Chains A and B, each alone.
Chain A
Amino acid sequence: MTAVIEDKGAAAPSALGVVPSFTVTLKIRRFNPEVSDEPTWEEYQVEAHGTDRILDALHKIKWEQDGSLTFRRSCAHGVCGSDAMRINGRNRLACKTLLKDVNPDKPITVEPIKGLPVVKDLVVDMEPFFASYREIMPFLITSGNEPTRERLQSAADHAKFDDTTKCILCAACTSSCPVFWTDGQYFGPAAIVNAHRFIFDSRDEGGQQRLDILNDKEGVWRCRTTFNCTEACPRGIQVTKAIQEVKQAMIRRAF
């Protein structure tokens, strides 16, 4: 299809973002505990097209040069949350970052996200991340008899937590947080975002319990509003704002 074919010099519409093919260098932080205890940096050169993403370049390396390069991926269009990594020092999804948008003239550095134990190459152990998520009771809590039909909710009430329902649990936010880097016990932005999603849901009755959990010394008060999380979120969630709303709810005990 046209969109991935390189520009043949014809008057291709700019709309398609057709860019000629180019060579790009990726500098990847490799780690394999079966080989060495120390990580190393390795450089790879790849031929890329205008619509190629970092994930395409990683696949080209794995499929054509070095099969041992290890990373997670699945959907390849930014909805499954598998391939968060540190690209040129910023947390991004590899499948949502176009090579042409990260200055392909210079080597692009790719590292695993920070603050979680590295398993192999770009793969980290996600268990501590999911453990924090599970701790904030990420499910609807209600009491009394269930209604026969749906619970009613106004569009305005729905809008209060709509933004935080977008979270794909990729850990880009949590692993961009300087507090999380130095204190792995901190719940981290993703867990708070998911608490927000329920605290501000008009159907939920577990807000108080979640606020008590997050009032812990490893809870929301650790947030220093550096906004790294908001910048890192590939879903555009206003993460810092959500954390502030949880803090305010804690003070006012109103939500």
Chain B
Amino acid sequence: MQTHQYDVVIVGAGGAGMRAALEASTDARTAVISKLYPTRSHTGAAQGGMAAALANVEEDNWEWHTFDTVKGGDYLVDQDAAEILAKEAIDAVLDLEKMGLPFNRTPEGRIDQRRFGGHTRSHGEAAVRRACYAADRTGHMILQTLYQNCVKQNVEFYNEFYVLDLLTDHDLTTEELPDGAEVNATGVVAYDLASGEIHVFQAKAIIFATGGAGKIFKTTSNAHTLTGDGMALAYRRGLPLEDMEFFQFHPTGLAGLGILLSEAARGEGGILRNADGERFMERYAPTIKDLAPRDIVARSMANEVREGRGAGPNKDYVLLDLTHLEPAHIDAKLPDITEFARTYLGVEPYTEPVPVYPTAHYAMGGVPTNVQGEVLRDSHNVVRGLYAAGEVACVSVHGSNRLGTNSLLDINVFGKRSGRAAAAYAKTVDAHLPLPADPAAAVVAQLEDMRSRPDGERVADLRRTLQETMDANAQVFRTGDSLAEAMATIKDLQKRYRNVSVQDKGKLFNTDLLEAIELGFLIDIAEVTVLAALNRKESRGGHYREDFPKRDDVNYMKHTMAYRRPPAASDVADGHIEGYFDHVENLDGYKVVLGSKTVTQTRYEPMERKY
């Protein structure tokens, strides 16, 4: 075992992690720990753009952007955070340009902008060109640019290191702490994939930037490595997860495969059609049609299929039509996604419409933070020295449905903020806080147990069962019954997980072992996602309950906060949770307590959401 000491340790090297690293490393001794090489992170798969009211091509301002974000999130957005996001967007884009990002340009040489779902002028009048972009590889260019600047700044990386535990000075899973009691994060425990060695990182400040958890679903645009590690580690350490029932299904995944085709395709003029060739979005969103927010478009597509108007031999997808666009325009603005259609489905988008269906894409929920990126341990107390940014976090700027191009923005704005805040905080701490005795004991025991189990069930079998039940029961349309079925399967999987075994018993580069560990994260994240969805008996944004099809502001205009607790703990978690949702689920060996947190409203009263 090796031990390291840093001022700031950042977990994850995607957009949020590296943006944080560029800030923190100028001011504090910083290390970035990542389970992938930095340029492999899933930020690189983002395509369409990054929103900012630069007004380079038409009138626009940050207030309109704030409103769109709040409305897009079906009013579950914390409005103070959305305002910060929209205001700081402008500098966030300019920062990236100055770092070298090769944006597409206007004829005057400025950063070009295009339309995207839910982004409008004058509070919903018409679509506005707000998305700054680099062809349809904006995320790739952001990831490359941030990595390039990390090279320039000599940022220290630990690549292919899996963080498997978060160390704190109080055990939140068992201790009941009074309001205001100080809790500190002291370090993380990591596993070096190449050698199989354990490394303990002691830090004054830790930033989680571990990304999403799309692999709880079968049909997903997410990478195989998006297994919710950071969320699950926080959850297991007694920290709450916020708004996990809100998962975004991106409308245009390649049918059957889930590979993402950017909303930019519709921003550039693409049209969704059903089997009859009808532009069906005209019925669902008469004003902005195909550029309605993703939750609405995804539901509309699923509805077309359900009502028998799907295309294809099994009538189970709809069509994304680009055939009326000039091939030269497609090549200049959408080269990658049209190549995906050719490579993976053998479809030529110049002349044929592309089969598409919604694909699990983005977790709106996550580890709760305030606008400085500080992680909350309940509705209002922070964990000192612990920060989170990007998809792992829930600020909440996305509410119940994120607008396209707001996540590349989120990672830059809140990556920067958390990097700065973490470094500033680390400077105020004189000495590292002591680690628990034998800090790696739990991780070592977990790995040894998994490695030495007799032949049991296969990891892949459990994972497939989990993903299939999530697709069948917790996707675009949900009901109390379907979610209960998913929960029953998840409870069973939690039990079966204790008997999974790995075939690779070696020390070196044992991905078999790590896939088993990641499966544990996935089951935990699915558990909290389904419980929160069961508990929210209304429909809002990405969470649509057919048994409760209306939004219910009286009972549910609040964030869900889910806590895992031992069976003996009080049902009100640490004794001061705000008026909670009245739900405690008893599971095998622990229980999940669902609390709540107030939604911050500043300028905008909730209204009915029409587009």
Contact = CB atoms under 8 A, between A and B. Distances in A.
A162 B149 CA distance: 19
Contact of A3 (B340, B355, B504, B506): B355
A134 B388 CA distance: 28
Given A66-B503, A79-B140, A162-B102, A139 B458 contact: no
How many A residues touch the partner, as a band?
35 or more
A76 B40 CA distance: 11
A168 B312 contact: no
A62 B512 contact: yes
Interface in B325-349: 336, 339-340, 343-347
Interface in A176-226: 198, 201, 203-204
A139 B460 contact: no
B255 A154 contact: no
A1 B313 contact: no
B495 interface: no
Given A119-B194, A140-B99, A134 B151 contact: yes
Given A4-B257, A51-B345, A138 B137 contact: no
Contacts of A203: 100
B224 A76 contact: yes
Q: Is the interface of A mostly helix, strand, loop or mixed?
A: loop
Interface in A108-154: 119-120, 123, 126, 130, 134, 137-140, 142, 146-147, 149-154
A2 B317 contact: yes
A75 interface: yes
Contacts of A34: 506-508
Interface residues of B, number: 72
A70 B512 CA distance: 8
Given A77-B340, A161-B102, A123 B509 contact: yes
B148 A138 contact: yes
B316 interface: yes
A120 B94 contact: no
B453 interface: no
B111 interface: yes
Contacts of A241: none
A16 B355 contact: yes
B110 A150 contact: yes
Contacts of A78: 340, 343
Interface in B192-217: 194
- What 7 A-B pairs come out closest when comparing CB atoms? A3-B256, A140-B100, A1-B256, A17-B346, A67-B503, A63-B460, A152-B109
Given A15-B355, A80-B223, 12 more contacts: A1-B256, A2-B355, A64-B458, A68-B506, A73-B224, A74-B42, A78-B340, A81-B40, A140-B98, A140-B100, A150-B110, A155-B104
6 contacts: A5-B314, A35-B506, A68-B512, A70-B510, A80-B39, A138-B148
